[in-house]
Amino acid sequence: MCCITILTKKGVEMPTVLTVSKQHAEGKLALMQLTAGGIAGLSEICLLHPLDVIKTRFQLQKAGTSAQYSSLGHCFTDMYRTEGLLSFYKGILPPIMAETPKRGTKFLVFEQYKRLFLLFDGISQPYVFLLAGFLSGCTEAFVVNPFETVKVKLQSERMAFAAQQNAFALAREILKKDGFGLRGLNKGLTATICRHGIFNLCYFGFYHNARVLLTAEGETLSIPFRLLLGFIAGSLASVCNIPWDVAKSRIQGPQPEPNSIKYKSTVQTIRLVVKEEGCVSYNKPVCLMFHESLVNINCLFLGI
């Protein structure tokens, strides 16, 4: 054990003893948060990836094109008929590699940011949850963005699963041609930061503040109520997240004209989509996001 002397406001020295057992307990809690988040993320991928592929197809298509999907059913049947059943699992390897550390990072970093902000007396608890959520999302974005770039590229290709490059070959190709920077594997980083930051701000901010308001001190919510609250929080976060998610897909996906970059930055992409296609273009994947939220939150809580 070690002894640390703390000087109080009155100048009185107070010895504080930090035991190894306390440090071990904190390390064990962090490991549990990391593991729980990883298990939840892996379960989510296995269930939700087909929906994610369809969502990406809708986000990338432009109104009035000959290859446009008219509905979710049309997209599903067309992909199955022309690309095969495995097409719904295009680009699944990057999320499998990224989602486990991403989910672990989400929970672990959120808890650490929360503890940090609680040290400041001037920040009330509701804002602590919001700030910790936003910064955990921003941190998470740096982990996941290179994997997202590869995933979106694979999901956008309208060919048979067997005819595609594998994820490692595509990542090497992007690295060789454009490098690791904002033109290469980290293309669309700003949009990804906004996407994850806003999602976590809405999700963690709403969920934890609502839980505090709905429970008395010392009480806990039942699992069904936690699932319901989590679904509402996830749905709200998904809706707030749509413009940034569409911008990320447009920037990372194939450009409309070869050898010409149309979607250059996050704000420019959002404005351009609204100008050319209207705000309704952001509503295309809404129902898919609600389905994702339902399964996502169930995986999230069953995982922990």
Nearest to 101, CA basis, from 153, 40, 46: 40
Spatial separation of the C-alpha atoms in residues 40 and 95, rounded to whole Å: 13
Residue 52 in tokens: 């994610």
Considering the domain boundaries, does residue 71 fall inside one? no
Residue pair 18/2 in contact (Cβ under 8 Å)? The answer is yes
| Strand, coil or helix: 16 | strand
Considering the domain boundaries, does residue 183 fall inside one? yes
pTM: 0.80
Considering the domain boundaries, does residue 23 fall inside one? no
**Count of structural domains, the chain:** 1
Considering the domain boundaries, does residue 22 fall inside one? no
Q: What is the pLDDT of residues 86-108, one digit of tens each?
A: 999 999 999 888 876 777 777 78
Per the structure, the complete domain to which residue 234 belongs is given by 49-60+78-303
CATH classification of the domain holding 285: 1.50.40.10
Q: What is the pLDDT of residues 138-188, one digit of tens each?
A: 999 999 999 999 999 999 988 888 888 899 999 999 999 999 999 999 999
Considering the domain boundaries, does residue 37 fall inside one? no
Spatial separation of the C-alpha atoms in residues 73 and 49, rounded to whole Å: 16
